[in-house]
Structure 1
Amino acid sequence: MIDSLFLINHSGDIFLEKHWKSVISRSVCDYFFEAKEKAVDPENVAPVLQTPHHYLISIYRDKIFFLSAIQTEVPPLFVIEFLHRVGDTFLDYFGECSETVIKDNVVIVYELLEEMLDNGFPLATESNVLKEMIKPPNILRSVVNTLTGGSNVGNTLPTGQLSNVPWRRAGVKYTNNEAYFDVIEEIDAILDKSGTTVFAEIQGVIEACVRLTGMPDLTLSFMNPRLLDDVSFHPCVRFKRWESERVLSFIPPDGNFTLMSYQVSSQNLVAIPVYVKQNISFLEAGSCGRLDITIGPKQTMGKTVEGLMVTVHMPKAVLTVNLTATQGTHTYDLATKVLVWDIGKLNPQKLPNLRGSLSMQPGAPKPEENPSLNIDLKIQQLAISGLKVSRLDMYGEKYKPFKGVKYLTKAGKFQVRT
């Protein structure tokens, strides 16, 4: 299936490559570099590229391109999912998935790739199973391996690989038995000048941290599961039970994992958490403009909006800004022409406002289009879609675990067109 994997940084340098079936020349990446140059944003590079002799399938995350080279036709989503599993494994092992960290742990990276893919086909992709074969790096183990010439590879086959539950290792024991679930939702929305919603959808994910003794069988129920669209599950979830009862029934992996992802695409169900009143104008004659932005809470269910930030990509003709903010701080980058207003926590009693003048290049024509506003925000203890976990039941074990659910709403691509 997958013949080669190339890791490419943001500037276009190949800093790591791994081959399985046969060595493929780096020159195959030239087709990818051509597509990257044509794309305005790295995230807009086509995930599947066809070349005369190969298919190039890639993802972009943490400022790194994971590019796979394939010589035969395969389901692209299958490869994309595997590439995301590789990124998730690096994140779980090293704490972050960056070029520096990967280079510092290059030996472990090659060991992981060797175990995750067998002759080009995915084999062991669960983090807790991999940790039985390849120990995560730490200072003490690195010193011992340097002195003794040892490695991080274990001597025995993971117990999970020999059972019908390959995602969970056997013989798990904990003093404190805990199960935590984070419901994280991102809003992708476009609003017009009057505040009317042009486009809106919610991308949601349920992240789990399960540390339970033995082989527990869990059942997670929701109050309103019918609003979920385009649901994707971890392999541990029994899909037939979800189809018939809309209940998640599963034997969980040990540790951190993504239980499910979903989408809410109906605009009637997407509640926009903030409203924006803005006026950005440029004079027909002269070299100046005016800016006035006010933001307030709208659909937050009484929760506090935190981490609120507004980014405005100004026209190239704007030289300087003279603005006053009633809350937070603002900066303007002369090189990139980007205005960033960092508001922080939104105060419903005193709405934040940013207003002032814009200085233009002398003789510059009036911009054809006004800049758009990109908004970043975070709301704790709230799932904006209304999704709520009603109960979590455990079977197969006699102890009583500690259970917790946390909700978080964030802004994805949240844009206000002016």
Structure 2
Amino acid sequence: MASQIHFLDIKGKSLLSRDYRGDIDTSAIEKFPLLLLELENTSNSTGSATDDSNYRPFIHHQGVNYVFINHNNLYICALTLKNENIMSIIIFLSKLVEVLTQYFKHLEEESIRDNFVIIYELLDEMMDFGLAQTTDTKILKEYITQDYYKLIRNTPSRVVQPPNAVTNSVSWRKEGIFYKKNEAFLDVIESINMLINANGQVLNSEILGEVKIKSHLSGMPDLRLGLNDKGIFNTNEETGGSTNAKGIEMEDIKFHQCVRLSKFENERIITFIPPDGEFTLMSYRLSSTQFLMKPLIAVNCKTKVHKHSRIEILCSVKASIKKKSTANNVEIVIPIPDDADTPKFVPEYGTVKWIPEKSCIIWKLKTFPGGKSYHMKAELGLPAVDNDDNYILKKPIKVNFSIPYFTTSGIQVRYLRINEPKLQYQSYPWVRYITQSGEDYTIRTK
């Protein structure tokens, strides 16, 4: 998979290296900064520097493949001679960054210099002779810890062995887990990204969904999950007939490593032995081409400019959700001019706060029942302003919210069966649905 792993600073200077196979000259990494500069210059000359479709995370030079990712002004680079799968190496480097971040909280040049020993130990456990091994942080933390290498030394009479999970087929879960009360909590969380124009029309939208599980189960439980997704379930497993429920076609489905992919590919069934604790079982995406969406929280803002004195903002917000649903912690972030001062607010409901360092006002509504609408009036003084109605709201309005017991896509958990063949205990899962605003739920103002 990889012959060498290198950590380099932003200038290409090597900070830490690990040679697994010895088939590549150790000086080969010294050519990487020049090759990277040449790649960037080539991209700039062709006008594709900002085009993501032309981005490639590898360089081939004199028979050596340089595969790299960038993180916090660091380059993590893998060298290989063979014609390897580039994406598998990229995924391993990303997992390496994730593991180191879990250990040091922030992976940067200083944290690498301060933790040479533990990084070398992690590199040796995560990869053997250039082949990826254990990449689960929970398993690695069981026998590789910072305190261990500071306080304890191995002796012939005391040799710390890796847990069985490392050599077990179920590497993400250790044996001997026991709980007095066996429970499993499942959350279906959908984040909505939406771009809305000033007239309230949706220009673009997507749903990013995650199925998260918090497992407090003893032994080695085997779980089976059923969803009303026609891309996965074409038949009703309870009766053997076809399902009448309206299916949802998911895109970009990504599973946790515990899911049996062969079972899913052959029988379209999600079965797995879960890790202990919290983890993301699967993630998916639903594009706007599959459904017509209306803004769940619709906002309309109008401005009235009084020349050389003040600006008035008239804002209305409506919850376009079912009356039995309630949106919680709604925030409407309205941009204002940098030099605005002396604000006055008259909200019909909720509270309004002026954030001068971010040049915005935030209207907060703790609970927002479906079908309701509220109004807010704000008045801000300005030292000098032209009589331009578009002056104040040049930036889009951002909306944050959370709606429990509701999913926009209509996805539902049909069942979650739990079976532990040895202990034979009974456990009843808890299922919760949450719809929330994504990172890009915005409303244009012009």
> If the TM-score is normalised by the length of the shorter chain, which range does it land in?
0.7 to 0.9
Q: Is residue 400 of structure 2 the alignment partner of residue 373 of structure 1?
A: no
Q: 2:328 aligns with which of 264, 287, 306?
A: 306
State the shift of 1:241 in Å. 3.7
Cα pair 2:16 2:116 within 8 Å, conserved: no
Change (3 A) 1:259 1:245: same
Q: What is the distance in 2 between the residues matched to 1:260 and 1:375?
A: 26
Q: Deviations over 1:113-171 (max 9, x none)?
A: 44223455432112343234325x6xxxx4x86555569x9721331233333333234
Change (3 A) 1:381 1:70: same
> 3-state SS of the aligned residue for 1:173?
coil
Q: Which amino acid aligns with 2:179?
A: Y
Cα pair 1:287 1:364 within 8 Å, conserved: no
Q: Is residue 76 of structure 2 the alignment partner of residue 68 of structure 1?
A: yes
> 3-state SS of the aligned residue for 1:319?
coil
Larger Rg: 2
State the shift of 1:181 in Å. 1.9
Q: 1:176 aligns with which of 170, 176, 181?
A: 181
Change (3 A) 1:212 1:30: same
Q: Deviations over 1:310-369 (max 9, x none)?
A: 334445xx41143415222322335xx531405141334572525224626457987598
Match of residue 211 from structure 1: 216
Q: What is the distance in 2 between the residues matched to 1:91 and 1:353?
A: 43
**Which shows bigger deviation, 69-78 or 229-238?**
69-78
The 5 A counterparts of 1:17-416 are 17-21=15-19, 22=26, 24=29, 48=56, 57-58=68-69, 64=72, 67-71=75-79, 77-86=87-96, 88-89=98-99, 108=118, 111-118=121-128, 120-135=130-145, 142=147, 146=150, 148-149=152-153, 155-224=160-229, 226-227=247-248, 228-243=250-265, 246-267=268-289, 268=291, 270=293, 272-280=295-303, 286=308, 289-299=311-321, 302-314=324-336, 318-321=338-341, 322-326=343-347, 327-334=350-357, 338-348=359-369, 351=374, 353-357=376-380, 359=382, 361=384, 367=391, 370-397=394-421, 398-412=424-438, 413-416=440-443
Cα pair 1:59 1:84 within 8 Å, conserved: no
Instruction: Compute the TM-score of the two structures, normalised by the length of structure 1.
Output: 0.75
Cα pair 1:20 1:119 within 8 Å, conserved: no
RMSD of aligned Cα (Å): 4.4
Q: Which amino acid aligns with 2:162?
A: L
Change (3 A) 1:148 1:134: closer
Change (3 A) 1:233 1:146: closer
State the shift of 1:384 in Å. 2.6
> 3-state SS of the aligned residue for 2:139?
helix
Q: Which amino acid aligns with 2:354?
A: T
Q: Deviations over 1:69-109 (max 9, x none)?
A: 24457655434543553455456667x55779968877545
> 3-state SS of the aligned residue for 1:166?
coil
Change (3 A) 1:90 1:353: farther
Instruction: Compute the TM-score of the two structures, normalised by the length of structure 2.
Output: 0.71
State the shift of 1:273 in Å. 2.2
Q: What is the distance in 2 between the residues matched to 1:271 and 1:357?
A: 32
Q: What is the distance in 2 between the residues matched to 1:13 and 1:345?
A: 48
> 3-state SS of the aligned residue for 2:92?
helix
Change (3 A) 1:263 1:147: closer
The percent of aligned pairs where both chains have the same amino acid is 26
Q: What is the distance in 1 between the residues matched to 2:443 and 2:36?
A: 37
State the shift of 1:404 in Å. 1.6
| Unmatched tracts of structure 1, length 5 or more | 39-43
Q: Which amino acid aligns with 2:442?
A: Q
Cα pair 1:304 1:345 within 8 Å, conserved: no
